[in-house]
Structure 1
Amino acid sequence: MLKIGQISDIHIGNGEELVQGIDVCANFLKALNSDSMQNLDLLVLSGDLAENSQAAAYKHVASLLKDYKVPVCIIPGNHDDLNIMRKYFDLESKIHGDRCYYRYDLGGRTIFFLDSGCGNVSQDQLTWLQEEASKIKGEVILFMHHPPCFCGHRFMDLRYHLENMVEVQEVLAGIKNLTHIYAGHYHHQFEVNMGRQIVHVAPATQFQIDPNVPYFNLKSAAPGWQLIEWGEKFLETTVYFE
């Protein structure tokens, strides 16, 4: 069984400073060091590592992960700058043009990562994903920053949804060995059925946004994160909050 931890929307500011009055560094450490995130096989940081693409934010995260015991996979979010990120994380082989997307094989399983940091998923990525997934016999999973669907979050669905959602959905629907898709970005937990596929949206470690109103309203300053347990004949996702 693979045990994968997902942390999303960390939004570190200029080093260890507070961001919007919240100790986002402490929130990130609460997730990273929680009992539920011990003995992982893989840690995924699914975008928005920084609040405003500050180099000090990436330097801070990189310093915390320097001696981390398991592999870490990272993708950018809409608050990130890939050209700055690549100076602090091992991303060179994963960057194609101006996007960071890749396949990661672990324990006989295949995990795909797409880059929606610019607000969309490029056609090159979609074509690549179709071709790579077709080479795999077993089930695969996918991580991306933006959910590939509306989630019932009135504020985020209205203002910050994935721009080419329909195009992405059409491609994902054609990948028969993809059932579970993992995202972040919405600062709230969701599990959305998208046809035969399930989209698991992780809460943020920065804060949670009220999904019931069409304007920004802070719901909670407590961090959340997600744990994925992937066995031979099962895949279970559990959400945790501080």
Structure 2
Amino acid sequence: MEKKVLKIGQISDTHIGADASCVQDIDVRKNFLTAYNADSMKNLDLLVISGDLADEESPEAYAYIAGILEDCKVPVCIIPGNHDKLEIMEKFFDLNGKVHNGRCYYRYDIAGRSIFFLDSADGTVSSDQLRWLEEETAKVEGEVLLFLHHPPCHCNHKFMDLRYAMKNIDEVQATLSKINNLKYIFVGHYHSEMVEKIGDKTVFVTPSTQMQIDPNSSVFCLSSAAPGWRVVEWGENFMETKVYFSNTP
């Protein structure tokens, strides 16, 4: 019997502030709600928020997001980004059993499938996580997905690659190359929509709901203040994904 097609929504890099004030002159709360309430995000099976929830690790930012998610009708999987503070996040989100030695990583099973989440908040994926990922994915029959905050590769993004790339890319790629049932990796962090290949795997970089950064400039240059988000449809031997911006249908 063929498994159902899962519809997964991904929101990343919301950078919510401590109050309703603009962050870098952008109404980030409005942008977050635009993505969260978008028609394309209806009828999800799972919502993923892939890091940098808060702009400055403030409890008020996490409280705001948690308050919005109280009405969410589907499971929500959350991982931290480099702007987040895991110890504060734990007070507002159910991360029970998902935090190990100060890192938030876990496997989430839904509709007979397995999705893996890693913590790259300090710019690395720790050796413990990589060993765990290799061992756990080997236990799964069939394809798995992976979400983390940092791309496990350079992305030809002149600003982010130069300053904020993952610090142990080679180590991470060495582990990923061994995982034969992993073909699709979903990340954020770069504030751009990008697609990269590493071996037989495809890395989908999801834009930010806060703002987009021009990948063609080696200095910080805002390309858009329109929020972006991603929808993934994942079935047996089937995966389609589309990025949406608030100014596109």
User: Do they superpose with TM above 0.5?
Assistant: yes
Shift of 1:93: 1.1
Partner deviation per Cα, 1:3-54 (whole Å, 9 max, x = no partner): 0000000000013221011000000000000000000000000000000101
Distance 1:225 1:21 in 2: 20
Which of the residues 10, 15, 24 maps onto 1:20? 24
Amino-acid identity (%): 61
Distance 2:136 2:94 in 1: 22
Aligned residues: 242
Which of the residues 100, 103, 106 maps onto 1:102? 106
1:69 paired to 2:51: no
Contact 1:187–1:209 (8 Å) recurs in 2: yes
Partner deviation per Cα, 1:84-134 (whole Å, 9 max, x = no partner): 000000012100011000000000110000000011000000000000000
1:206 paired to 2:210: yes
Contact 1:16–1:60 (8 Å) recurs in 2: no
Aligned 1:156-175 pairs, distance under 5 A: 156-175=160-179
Which ranges of 4 or more aligned residues in structure 1 deviate by more than 3 Å? none
Gaps of 5+ in 1: none
1:217 paired to 2:204: no
Residue matched to 1:146: 150
Aligned 1:123-134 pairs, distance under 5 A: 123-134=127-138
Residue matched to 2:54: 50
Which of the residues 78, 85, 88 maps onto 1:81? 85
Gaps of 5+ in 2: none
Residue matched to 1:30: 34
Partner deviation per Cα, 1:176-198 (whole Å, 9 max, x = no partner): 00000000000000010111000
Shift of 1:233: 2.1
Residue matched to 1:196: 200
Distance 1:96 1:66 in 2: 25
Shift of 1:231: 1.2
Letter of the 1:50 partner, please give it. Answer: A
Distance 1:213 1:71 in 2: 38
SS in structure 2 of the partner of residue 29 of structure 1: helix
SS in structure 1 of the partner of residue 196 of structure 2: strand
